């Protein structure tokens, strides 16, 4: 009887510990070369707009940043 209680207790402890442990994740970065913003049309951004910056499709977050980049290109 005591061995069953011990087994149950240790199993519950292992399960509780497994639920507390978080698995680290990394954000993937895709390198997509471009010449114009049109080349980045199908580049998916979780937030923001895809733009061609320094010949690289990049997701931008703020519209003021986008305006600055467009002024820089002119």
User: In which domain, by residue range, is 13 found?
Assistant: 2-73
pTM, two decimal places: 0.42
CB contact set of 46 (below 8 Å; sequence gap of 6+):
59
pLDDT at residue 65 greater than cutoff 70: no
Task: Read off the pLDDT of residues 11-33 as tens digits, 9 standing for 90 and up.
Answer: 887 887 777 776 655 555 667 89
* pLDDT per residue as tens digits for the range 29-62: 667 899 999 998 888 887 778 889 889 988 876 5
Q: How many domains does the chain have?
A: 1
3-state secondary structure of 9: helix
Q: Whats the size of the chain, residue-wise?
A: 74
Q: What is the pLDDT, as a whole number, of residue 35?
A: 92
């Amino acid at each position: 009887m005591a061995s069953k209680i011990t087994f149950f207790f240790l199993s519950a402890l292992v399960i509780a510990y497994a639920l507390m442990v978080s698995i680290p994740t990394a954000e993937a970065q895709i390198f997509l070369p471009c010449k114009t913003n049109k080349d980045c049309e199908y580049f998916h951004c979780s937030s923001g707009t895809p733009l061609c910056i320094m010949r690289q499709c990049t997701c931008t977050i703020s519209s003021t940043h986008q305006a600055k980049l467009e002024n820089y290109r002119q």
